[in-house]
Amino acid sequence: MKKMILCCLVAVLGCGVFAVEAKTPQKKGEIVTTVFTIDIDCESCAARIMNNVPVIGKGIKDIQVDVPSKEATVTYDSAKTSPEELIKGFGKIRIKAEEKPGK
């Protein structure tokens, strides 16, 4: 009787291990930081960017806006968005953006 219970227990645990291995892990993109030249003049434009992060793009982890240099540094998940999509996102909030060359 003990052997039968032990065999059933081992079978159940073994199936659980195989079920966990059968799940394919969700592929994550790498975290990328891109600098954009943006057409802004004041702090209210910077606030508009900060208040509309979900509109700009998915997977954004951080945005740093520097008004004097007219740059936005965006850290994002490359599996969820791209620089081209982020430029479109800036356009949705009426801010012209271009990827800064060499960054």
> For the segment 8-20, what is each residue's pLDDT rounded down to a tens digit?
656 666 655 454 4
Which SS3 state, helix, strand or coil, does residue 63 take?
Answer: strand
Confidence of residue 1 (pLDDT cuts 50, 70, 90): confident
74 bridge partner residues: 34, 63
Domains of the chain from N-terminus onward: 31-99 (3.30.70.100)
What's the pLDDT at 29? 80
CA atoms in the 13 A half-sphere facing the CB of 20 = 5
Amino acid code (one letter) for 89: G
Contact 37, 71 (CB under 8 A): yes
